[in-house]
Amino acid sequence: MSHASHSPSATPAPESAPESTTQIVAALSLKGGVGKTSVVLGVAGAAASAGLKVLVIDLDPQANATATLNPESAQFTTSDVLYDGRPGIAADAIVPSSWEGTLDLIASEPALEHRSQSPGTGSELRLRTALDGVASNYDLVLFDCPPSLGELTRNALYAATSALVVTEPTFFAVQGAAQAIEAVQVVSEHGNPELKPAGIVVNRMRNTLEDHREHMADLQKEFGKLVLGGLPDRSAVPQAQGAQIPVQMWKSNGAADISKALGLLLNRLVGKTVVNVTTTTVNLSDSTPRTEPTEASSEKKLKKNKTKKKKASTQEIAKTVDLTNKPESLANLTPTYRFTTSEDK
């Protein structure tokens, strides 16, 4: 990766000031299929439509965010960025997305899977180093993490200022959310003191279903105000992704519902009102059945956006976040805000 345009002399000292205003959010989950990428793309679309400058960094080897954002080309990927690891080198991998607005991307590729294993001590800081002087050029940076607590997610947590845990209203929601919050706590205490939990968002919530309400109640009982609320299950989400456009541009009542909820979530993540939402609740009673893009169409998009691959070492040593020291209480992790939905009524 070329680094000629990012020499230390080209970066003025005062650049550290705007860095503090940039929100760097890692979206994580411990279970695949909860719609984590959909939440990342939904928040990114809300931010871009509000005029914020947004950077999405796809750290998931499945590259679903990359396929949906559909860049025209991507010479370098997150795999290349982590391989290189020099200060500011991430700038060379940034490409514009095909979405309207100020939304850029660092693309992923299946070869990134090789980076899920640690090459040695200090490897968890490679992404943070690569983003030095780069993140401050954006209002919001979003990491789409893989569904695990491996090396890629660790890199995201060490580079982020906050972590958003995405889950679904299922039997395993509490256990998965607890492990994710514990991982955030460990990284915050042992390497990235700037990291804080943004909260837990429950995706694909249907308030008309009793088991969904019960699982939401379990989460709220366990984590209290750390639970931001639920995002309604709307078929507009996969439909918009299949069309490779933001859900905010999809024309349907369901799209309007989810766009309001995502706008509220964005406001909480950035700590100010950037999206004016006329109502603070979302009616879940008219949810429509959820559909998913076919595997064939997803594969076609990935081939369309095929990126330059770099060979990775096959002798990397696996390393995961140590969860042996669990926090005694989650009270000190409780945010001062709440994402209001109809289940609060």
Is 152 within a domain? yes
Residue with tokens 């706008």: 263
Any domain includes 1: no
Q: How far apart are CA 301 and CA 250, in angstroms?
A: 19
Q: Number of structural domains, the chain? A: 1
pLDDT at residue 1 in the model: 72
pLDDT value of position 20: 55
For residue 170, the model assigns a pLDDT of: 87
3 part of a folded domain: no
Please list the pLDDT of the chain residue by residue as tens digits (345 residues). Answer: 755 444 333 444 444 333 458 999 999 998 888 999 999 999 999 999 999 999 999 999 999 999 999 999 999 999 999 999 999 999 999 999 999 778 999 999 999 998 877 666 788 999 999 999 999 999 999 999 999 989 999 999 999 999 999 999 988 888 889 999 999 999 999 999 999 999 999 999 998 899 999 999 999 999 999 999 999 999 999 999 999 999 999 999 999 999 999 999 999 999 899 998 864 444 333 333 344 344 444 444 444 444 444 433 333 323 333 333 433 333 333 333 333 333 443
Domain span including residue 72:
18-313+336-344
Instruction: State the sign of the Cα–Cα–Cα–Cα dihedral 190, 85, 20, 262.
Output: negative
Q: Within a domain: residue 272?
A: yes
pTM greater than 0.85: no
d(CA 332, CA 308): 44
Can you read off the two tokens belonging to residue 86?
A: 């020099």
Check residue 2 and give its pLDDT: 59
Cβ atoms within 10 Å, residue 64: 22
- Which CATH number goes with the domain that contains 189? 3.40.50.300
Please report whether residue 10 resides in a domain.
no
- 239 occurs within a structural domain: yes
| The residue type at 226 | L
- Does residue 318 sit within a domain? no
Let me know if residue 225 belongs to a domain. Answer: yes
Neighbours of 269 (CB within 10 A): 25
The secondary structure of 183-234 as a DSSP string is HHHHHHHTT-TT-EEEEEEEEEE-TTSHHHHHHHHHHHHHHGGGEEEEEE--
